[in-house]
Amino acid sequence: MPAPIVVPDRLNMAEWFLDARLAEGLGDKTAIYCGDAQVTYRELVAASCRVTNLLRAHGLRIEDRVQLLLLDTPEFAAAYFGIVRAGCVAVPTNTWLTPADYAYYLEYARPRAVIVDAEVYPQLEPVWRAARHPPLVIVLDRAGGPVPQGTLDWHAELARQPDAAETEPTWRDDFATWLSSSGSTGKPKCVVHMHHDFVWNTVAYAHRTLGLKQDDITLSAPKLFFGYALGSNLLFPLSVGASCVLVPERVAPERYYELIERYRATQFVTVPTTIAKMLDHLGEARRRDLSRLHSLVSAGEALPSRLYREWKQTTGVEIYDGIGSAEMFHVYITNRPGDVKEGSLGRLVDGYAYRLVDDDGKDVPPGEIGTLVITGPSAGQGYWRMRDQSRATFWGDSVKGADKFHVDQDGYFWFCGRGDDMLKCSGVYVSPVEVENCLLGHPAVHEAGVVGYRDAAGLERAVAYVELAPGRAPGEALAAEILAHARATIAAFKVPRRVEFVASLPRTETGKIKRAELRKLAASLT
């Protein structure tokens, strides 16, 4: 049995993940690669201290929430560690959302400050001044241009701050970060996590299970506003003195081969959808030097066996597929070096325990399918301002999800489907209710039902079954028009892959859409 993970009572993440590297003599080592820039550990510590001083200069204090709307750049890292160094709470938020989404966050999370990239600011600008509690807005224009009236200039403000700051002497049980988890109505829930949770899982998963080393260089397809990437491509590498590659722009899948070669990445963090798209460009893979790449870390959705085999046979690089959640911060079940079972999600990370239960909460017999209840020290404290949902999901250190699994006789977990109506497209949860409400805003749509289907690669996609308004006729042009309406209304990753027209949607006696019947229809799609 491995030794218990001991997390100190006095704990601030900035010191544990970042400052400790200076004490280890790694101050001049590159912590972050971004474009042509390289940021050392010493430079990153100094930048984070300037952020801490900036927040304090504007009246922010311990436990104040700071929302991050930054792209994957060194400034994200500086801001994140500067926030937690000040004892404030970091709220990383999806940068692909709409003004309506950000209006919700401003009311729900009530951040005292928002640090936003100039590219994202146009989506925030229509709503932040009208918020019930308008935050301090700090705009980062990476091109050095002027910032909007009423906001603070990131560059000018930091230039006034000293490079050293006193770290707030927080405890391991102080709040550190809120991670977003999608809700069934489309409104996100914020999982409240303490400093302790990130340290514990980092040791259990990144150190002891994956064996991340100081000479590793990580690269991630998911962005840092996802807890999955925040851990895998920032916290984990920095915790061992390794390096990470940050890419601000959204990248075509085939370009990841180029980035792996350019930065000599050793570990690529991704999701099955990206793997599938990369496999469509194997000519690019063969042109590039991938010799330092020793592993892919995959999560977000189960990896189909076909994709695993094709990738492994073509590149020789292993994939460690697993599962985690915002509720637990990160991965708790995974395949690992020297222990991979194709098609499975792997075995429990040491320190976690599980139950598989039926709809009544009773344990299912061995070998049968049940809902996963995962138990471990990295469990969050609950959802902010969502009492009923918190009590239904968090049972002490246990978290009850919606996904169905079975466990084989060797302890490997196998995904068997979702137990609710949520979709998981490209590794991101999507609420069908939110998408349906969006589609109903098109004048041709009388009713809509959105479900998932598996494409030829075995990946989940969304399809919208549409009942048309009187006088409207189905056709490819109308389907394209409806999808264009969706793309203009909701975030791109939420838009259905296709529209199918039906004479009428199947309904229960009480008028509810029979999603199970729609899923049967969708099962024939490829």
- Output the pLDDT for position 508: 60
Last-in-domain residue among 405, 440, 458: 405
Instruction: Tell whether 427 and 401 lie within a shared domain.
Output: no
Record the tokens describing residue 284, joined without a space.
């690019």
Instruction: Tell whether 115 and 180 lie within a shared domain.
Output: yes
Instruction: Tell whether 502 and 382 lie within a shared domain.
Output: no
Record the tokens describing residue 326, joined without a space.
């915002």
Instruction: Tell whether 386 and 285 lie within a shared domain.
Output: yes
Does residue 422 have a pLDDT over 80? no
Instruction: Tell whether 436 and 390 lie within a shared domain.
Output: no
pLDDT category, 185, cuts 50, 70, 90?
low
Give the contacts of 113 (CB within 8 A, at least 6 positions apart): 55, 58, 60, 64, 66, 67, 135, 136, 137, 138
Q: For residues 420 and 499, which has the higher predicted lDDT (pLDDT)?
A: 499
Other CB atoms within 10 A of residue 219 CB: 26
Record the tokens describing residue 98, joined without a space.
């709409």
- Output the pLDDT for position 273: 80
Instruction: Tell whether 230 and 99 lie within a shared domain.
Output: yes
Instruction: Tell whether 400 and 499 lie within a shared domain.
Output: no
Does residue 509 have a pLDDT over 60? no
Look at the chain and count its residues. 526
Instruction: Tell whether 388 and 435 lie within a shared domain.
Output: no
Q: Write out pLDDT tens, residues 14-45.
A: 999 999 999 999 999 999 999 999 999 999 99
- End-to-end Cα, the chain, rounded Å: 46
pLDDT category, 237, cuts 50, 70, 90?
very high
Contact 170, 11 (CB under 8 A): yes
Distance in angstroms (rounded) separating the CA atoms of residues 261 and 284: 11
Contact 335, 321 (CB under 8 A): yes
Other CB atoms within 10 A of residue 286 CB: 11
Report the CATH number that the domain containing residue 440 is assigned in CATH: 3.30.300.30
Give the contacts of 296 (CB within 8 A, at least 6 positions apart): 267, 268, 269, 270, 275, 311, 317, 318, 319, 320
- Output the pLDDT for position 280: 87
- Output the pLDDT for position 179: 97
**Of 253, 297, 261, nearest in space to 279 by CA:** 253
pLDDT category, 2, cuts 50, 70, 90?
confident
| Residue-range definition of the domain harbouring residue 428 | 423-522
> On the CB side of 110, how many CA atoms lie within 13 Å of its CA?
6
Q: Write out pLDDT tens, residues 437-454.
A: 789 889 999 888 999 888
Q: Write out pLDDT tens, residues 107-139.
A: 999 999 999 999 999 999 999 999 999 999 999
Percent of the chain exceeding pLDDT 90 equals: 77
**Of 325, 224, 318, nearest in space to 268 by CA:** 318
Opening angle at CA 268, ends 264 and 270, nearest 5? 155
pLDDT category, 295, cuts 50, 70, 90?
very high
Contact 360, 380 (CB under 8 A): no
- Output the pLDDT for position 510: 45
**Of 155, 145, 109, nearest in space to 128 by CA:** 109
Instruction: Tell whether 400 and 446 lie within a shared domain.
Output: no
Give the contacts of 84 (CB within 8 A, at least 6 positions apart): 12, 13, 14, 90, 170, 176, 177, 195
Instruction: Tell whether 66 and 92 lie within a shared domain.
Output: yes
Opening angle at CA 188, ends 182 and 192, nearest 5? 95
pLDDT category, 276, cuts 50, 70, 90?
confident
| 243 within domain boundaries | yes
Contact 452, 445 (CB under 8 A): no
- Output the pLDDT for position 424: 75
| 8 within domain boundaries | no
Q: Write out pLDDT tens, residues 300-324.
A: 878 888 889 889 998 999 999 999 9
Distance in angstroms (rounded) separating the CA atoms of residues 239 and 21: 8
pLDDT category, 458, cuts 50, 70, 90?
confident
Q: For residues 402 and 85, which has the higher predicted lDDT (pLDDT)?
A: 85
Last-in-domain residue among 359, 376, 405: 405
Q: For residues 375 and 467, which has the higher predicted lDDT (pLDDT)?
A: 375
Average per-residue pLDDT for the chain: 93
Total domains in the fold of the chain: 2
